């Protein structure tokens, strides 16, 4: 029987709120068993880019990454945000190690081909180095991945953090029973974005198509749910979306994604 592995992705608004971030990291540190944390940092990257006079552009919930934005993203994701999270986790006695996909050749990707949209230096994941990552877990280290990968030829690539979390859950399922949790500031997927209590507690493939066609699901939630179903279709045991309390509270309402 495979050991359970939790892959948890934390959303940008939680990262921006220092109080909420501290509460999340304290909860994450207490989780039993092997675990992996994935984070982005897009809002901070956008703010810092603006201070530097660099424009940021999003299409369909995904960032357009030109050369200048790639430099900012590398500084923010792999530097400031990642190391801040690592230091905070150490304070909670969680022996974390900060990584990009280039570290240990852990996440290889390719530059997204130009079709209708040129996403620039955006990466689509090719594979996960489950052996290297499992060695870190076996050493009782907690990997904390930022939203960056590499192509094996010296090029760093900006990669959607939801996608990285999904691909980690899929890749690590060879060795573990993997569960995937997307944590952000909302209770889950909402029928009405202005009503925090309008949570859809269970979304099947059929329900997803209904919500998509009605326009209920849009913007950043689109790639998130695409990654959820991609994970479930590739050996991931469980996928949930909601507030951090869903990790350990029996009373928390959240969204469970099923096929």
| Residues shown for the chain | 259
- Tell me whether strands 4-10 and 177-183 are parallel, antiparallel or unpaired: parallel
Q: Please indicate, yes or no, whether the overall pTM of this predicted structure exceeds 0.85.
A: yes
For the chain, what are the domain ranges? 4-185
Here the tokens at position 27 are 């909860």
**Helical ranges in 33-156 per DSSP H:** 42-51, 67-73, 82-91, 130-138
pLDDT tens column, 205-255? 999 999 988 888 877 788 889 999 999 999 999 999 999 999 998 899 999
pLDDT tens column, 85-122? 999 999 999 999 999 999 999 999 999 999 989 999 99
CATH of domain 4-185: 3.40.1160.10
Distance separating alpha carbons of residues 30 and 11, to the nearest angstrom: 19
First-to-last alpha carbon distance for the chain, in angstroms, is 23
φ and ψ at residue 141, rounded to 5 degrees: -100, 150
């Amino acid at each position: 029987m495979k050991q359970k592995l939790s892959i948890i992705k934390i959303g940008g608004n939680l990262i921006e709120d220092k109080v909420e971030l501290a509460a999340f990291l304290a909860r994450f540190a207490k989780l039993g068993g092997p675990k992996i944390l994935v984070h982005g940092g897009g809002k901070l990257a956008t703010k810092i880019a603006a201070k530097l006079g660099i424009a940021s552009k999003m299409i369909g919930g995904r960032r357009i990454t030109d050369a200048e934005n790639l430099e900012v993203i590398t500084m923010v994701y792999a530097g400031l945000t990642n190391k801040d999270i690592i230091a905070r986790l150490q304070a909670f006695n969680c022996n974390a190690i900060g990584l990009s996909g280039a570290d240990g050749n852990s996440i290889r990707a390719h530059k997204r081909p130009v079709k209708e949209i040129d996403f620039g230096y955006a990466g689509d994941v090719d594979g996960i180095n489950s052996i290297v990552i499992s060695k870190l877990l076996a050493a009782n280290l907690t990997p904390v991945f930022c939203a960056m990968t590499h192509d094996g030829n010296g090029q760093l690539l900006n990669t959607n953090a939801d996608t990285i979390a999904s691909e980690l859950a899929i890749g690590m399922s060879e060795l573990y029973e993997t569960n995937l949790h997307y944590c952000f500031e909302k209770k889950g997927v909402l029928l009405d974005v202005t009503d925090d209590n309008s949570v859809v507690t269970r979304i099947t493939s059929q329900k997803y198509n209904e919500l998509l066609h009605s326009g209920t699901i849009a913007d950043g939630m689109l790639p998130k749910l695409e990654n959820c179903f991609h994970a479930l279709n590739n050996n991931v045991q469980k996928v949930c979306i909601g507030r951090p309390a869903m990790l350990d509270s029996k009373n928390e309402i959240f969204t469970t994604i099923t096929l």
